[in-house]
Structure 1
Amino acid sequence: MSLTRELIMLILIFAEYMEILFYKYQGTGNDFVMIDNRLQEFDKNNTKLVAKLCDRRFGVGADGLILLENHPELDFKMVYYNADGNESSMCGNGGRCLVAFANFLGIIKNKASFEAVDGLHHAIIENDLVKLQMQDVVSIENNKDYVYLNTGSPHHVQMENNIHDLAIKEVGSKIRYGQPYNEAGTNVNFVKQLSENTFQVRTYERGVEDETLSCGTGVTAVALAMFETGKTKSNLISLETEGGKLQVSFDKQDSIYKNVWLIGPATHVFKGTISW
């Protein structure tokens, strides 16, 4: 039996206005659209939709979008997209927020094991803080004016005395697209030492293409870079970002940084539906 013209029009109109249930989370100002995708209802190939949801004027507004999906062996799987709509490398604050989201959904209690784009992660929820174990770091490139390392995402780290007045977007974008990074690019962290084990950090994030209030893999990179270059002897480092305070702890065995933990708050902001 063929569909009538009126029914076809109704189907097309309904399809144009599908509603998406989302949750908004933030970790020290690094904010994310969270979607429970365990039923695989979200179109992961629709980069325009992801970018729209992250748009701060025409969508929900976020630094990135995260899908929580089923995993055959672990508690869940993390799929992360930058605000530009493209799937990206690991996001530390996003991972911490996803753990809080999984707790909210009742998938986990105070411990989690999940898969992200860079592999297996463990997490602990304790005293309103989410502690996320990051990957081991086996290589740190110590240059004259900056340090480069990968903490799940690539990071350029450089010291700046006048960090308060620094034009982060302008200076960060030049480094992000410049030599030696070029097309692949890098995240860029500017750092000022405040005490023996406390550092102020401002970060330009690729994919967002602007300064974000906080970056989890970024402060992790800063903590390891400061220890590697002798700026601190502490293996528990406090990082003050524009959006709040984080901590990073780690052990160094020979030249490898192991047992790396990113520690900080992760907060549910609101939930809602959006049509597209």
Structure 2
Amino acid sequence: MLFHKYSSTGNDFILLDNRDKKYDFIQSSIVENLCHRRFGVGADGVIFLEKSAKLDFSMRFFNADGSAASFCGNGARAITHFAHHLLEDKSSDRYTFEINNRVIKSEILDRNEVIVEMPAIFDLDKIKLNEFGLFLGSLYVDTGVPHAVFITDAVFYDYDLKSLYKKVNKNHKLFPHGVNVSVMEVMDDGFIALRTQERGVEDETYSCGTAAVAAAILTCRFSGFHEEINIQVKGGKLKILLDKDFKKIKLCGKAEKIFCGEIEV
């Protein structure tokens, strides 16, 4: 099986060209094996590029534990870069594709810089997070997948994100299907640091695009509105562009092909 390994600011994925449906046999157990960092290729998820009847292509995404996910912002950037180098028509750097009945628009800005128009947010503030401790601020929102974000200090040094993730996800009444958990620190005007532990990966990732959107919204709530929020994550830098109503939100950052190879499954 031919695969392509991608990184979107450290959020890494296995990309498969499934336009001819030759990889339809791949189920969750195989995805989990492929993503294993000791016995497989190693990745945060697997992305299938498939044909679409009306749009440029279709995207299917699976987390590292084999579970299907409704969306992935960094994955959307990775598949845009992948499609651009795979599809025959390279007359445009702009793409429109579908994932789980969502229509997503994306654009390659330069060689490795990709911007994605994120799906509409919903359930903003539907769940209160006060019971999980004293924080400078917190927010729940679904930015394509559900996120709980907390403002704290010293994000990159001594904060125990893993314990907070376990604590939040133990509350099955609030989060019966689990939730992604992030901690953020406001570093400067319109600049934050962010760490995320992702549901389905069950570990901290180097970057999470949908978490970056949630953190940008919380930043505007906490320190005033900014049209542009710059975010430092473990894997590099992300940029969120948004309007005051949070109706139009874009995610921008690097997406790079690391290598390609073959593996028996």
After superposing the two structures, state which structure 1 stretch, 97-106 or 176-185, moved more: 176-185
Q: Percent identity?
A: 36
Give secondary structure in 2 for the equivalent of 1:146: strand
Q: Per the alignment, do residues 198 and 118 of structure 1 end up closer, same or farther by CA in structure 2, a change over 3 Å counting?
A: farther
CA distance, structure 2, for counterparts of residue 182 and residue 69 of structure 1: 31
Correspondent of 2:95 among 112, 135, 138: 112
Tell me how far 1:174 sits from its aligned partner.
1.9
Correspondent of 2:180 among 187, 199, 207: 187
Tell me how far 1:251 sits from its aligned partner.
1.2
Q: Tell me the amino acid that sits aligned with residue 114 of structure 2.
A: V
The residue number in structure 2 matching 1:146 is 138
The residue number in structure 2 matching 1:10 is none
Give secondary structure in 2 for the equivalent of 1:230: helix
Give secondary structure in 2 for the equivalent of 1:191: strand
Structure 1 stretches lacking a partner, 5+ long: 1-19
Correspondent of 1:136 among 120, 123, 128: 120
Tell me how far 1:45 sits from its aligned partner.
5.6
CA distance, structure 1, for counterparts of residue 72 and residue 64 of structure 2: 12
Q: Per the alignment, do residues 204 and 118 of structure 1 end up closer, same or farther by CA in structure 2, a change over 3 Å counting?
A: farther
Q: Could you state the TM-score of these two structures normalised by the residue count of structure 1?
A: 0.87
The residue number in structure 2 matching 1:262 is 251
Tell me how far 1:175 sits from its aligned partner.
1.3
Are positions 1:30 and 2:11 aligned together?
yes
Tell me how far 1:104 sits from its aligned partner.
1.2
CA distance, structure 2, for counterparts of residue 67 and residue 50 of structure 1: 11
Give secondary structure in 1 for the equivalent of 2:168: helix
The residue number in structure 2 matching 1:169 is 162
Tell me how far 1:173 sits from its aligned partner.
2.2
Correspondent of 1:241 among 219, 230, 233: 233
Structure 2 stretches lacking a partner, 5+ long: 131-136
Correspondent of 2:65 among 71, 84, 97: 84
Provide the aligned C-alpha RMSD in A.
1.6
Are positions 1:51 and 2:32 aligned together?
yes
Q: Per the alignment, do residues 77 and 113 of structure 1 end up closer, same or farther by CA in structure 2, a change over 3 Å counting?
A: same
After superposing the two structures, state which structure 1 stretch, 162-171 or 146-155, moved more: 162-171
Kept after mapping to 1: 8 A contact 2:81/2:255: yes
Give secondary structure in 2 for the equivalent of 1:124: strand
